[in-house]
Each structure stands twice: as C-alpha cells, then as structure tokens.
C-alpha cells in the first residue's frame, strides 16, 4: 500500500480537474486562460468563507490586506498564471505545490490542501485504493447529495469532529466515484 505523497496529491488533483473539464459546466473549466484563472481566483477569494482557501489564493497572488484586493488582482501579471494554466491542461508534470493547492481550491478538489491530503488516516486511504482497484459501483449508490457535501465543506473549519469525519468520508466517496466514472 503506497502512502500519500506530494506526487500522489498532484496526480489526484490532476485527475480531478480533468474530470471537471470533461463535465464542462463552466467556461473556465473548458478553456482556463490566465485571465479566466485570475477572475475565478478573485471571485473565489472574495466569495469564500473558508480562511484556508483564501490563504492559499492570497499566498499565490501575494495579496496584502492593507491594499485594495480588487486593485491587487487587477494589476496581477497574467504571465505568472501561465504555469497554473499549463498544470490545468496537463502540460506540466512537476508543478510547485503552491500551484497545485491553488488549482485544488479553484476546482474545489475535496481533500485540500496538500497537508490535509497527507494527513488522511491510513484506513481511509486503503478504502480509497480498494475502491479504485475494484471499481465498486456500489459507491455511486451510497453517495450523498453534493449539496450536503458543500455544506460540510463550508463548515470544515469548525471544531465538531463528527462533521469533520463525515466530511472526509464524503470526500473520499466523491473522489472515488469520479475515478470510477472516469475509468468506465
């Protein structure tokens, strides 16, 4: 059984965003230009109530709270988003973790950032691996609604361990389901 590594995280995020691109529900998924990535980052930063997501975006863009957030985003050099675009399109095999975390936030990868991915319990990791290996279609039947998953994601910084545990299990189910759908 392989342990979670940063490379496993990169591969999981890459697989997840390719699934999102295939779904094609949003323009920025279909053609993630640097301009669209910047606009999405700004929208997610301003609309998110998850401080960790905001911190990831802030770190990448070098945002300073003392300055206007809108102006900082507007003046950000689009060429600095080219590596992000390349990772999304699968053209980069060894991206920096800052880029992968940013993409994980923008594409709402459920087990983010890297540190959370690395800290998953061994039992949950083994279940995920077995699910992929067996391509167990029962997982799809047990998958709860995405709206419930979203509510748990929005509350993930809370102290209620039951919610955190449920949140992690639902995320594994979502990721596993996407893997199954992708390979069938």
107-138 pLDDT, tens digit each: 888 888 898 888 876 566 556 555 544 543 34
Between 51-61 and 34-47, two packed helices, what is the crossing angle to 10 degrees?
140
Between 35 and 164, the higher pLDDT residue: 35
Q: What is the pLDDT, as a whole number, of residue 174?
A: 66
**DSSP three-state, residue 20:** helix
Integer Cα distance of 41 and 34 in angstroms: 10
* Contact present, 132 and 179 (Cβ < 8 Å): yes
Integer Cα distance of 84 and 92 in angstroms: 9
Backbone angles phi, psi at 111, to 5 degrees: -110, 80
Reading the block at residue 35, the tokens are 């301009």
First CA to last CA distance, the chain: 23
Residue 59: pLDDT over 80: yes
| DSSP 8-state assignment for residue 89 | T
Q: What is the pLDDT of residues 135-172, one digit of tens each?
A: 433 433 343 444 444 444 455 444 444 545 555 556 66
Q: What is the pLDDT of residues 15-33, one digit of tens each?
A: 888 877 777 666 666 778 9
* Contact present, 25 and 64 (Cβ < 8 Å): no
* Contact present, 102 and 41 (Cβ < 8 Å): yes
Q: What is the pLDDT, as a whole number, of residue 15?
A: 82
Q: What is the pLDDT, as a whole number, of residue 36?
A: 93
At 12, the pLDDT band (50, 70, 90 cuts) reads confident
């Amino acid at each position: 059984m392989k342990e979670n590594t940063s490379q496993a995280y990169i591969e999981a995020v890459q697989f997840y965003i390719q699934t999102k691109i295939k779904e094609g529900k949003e323009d920025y998924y279909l053609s993630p230009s640097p301009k669209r990535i910047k606009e999405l980052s700004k929208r997610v930063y301003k609309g998110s109530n998850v401080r960790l997501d905001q911190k990831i975006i802030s770190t990448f863009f070098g945002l300073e709270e003392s300055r206007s957030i809108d102006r900082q985003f507007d003046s950000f050099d689009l060429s600095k988003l080219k590596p992000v675009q390349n990772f999304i399109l699968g053209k980069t095999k060894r991206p920096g973790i800052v880029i992968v975390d940013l993409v994980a936030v923008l594409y709402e990868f459920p087990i983010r950032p890297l540190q959370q991915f690395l800290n998953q319990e061994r039992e949950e990791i083994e279940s995920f691996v077995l699910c992929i290996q067996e391509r167990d279609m029962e997982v799809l039947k047990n998958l709860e609604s995405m709206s419930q998953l979203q509510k748990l994601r929005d509350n993930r910084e809370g102290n209620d361990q039951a919610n955190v545990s449920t949140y992690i299990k639902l995320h594994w189910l979502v990721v596993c389901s996407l893997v199954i759908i992708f390979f069938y």
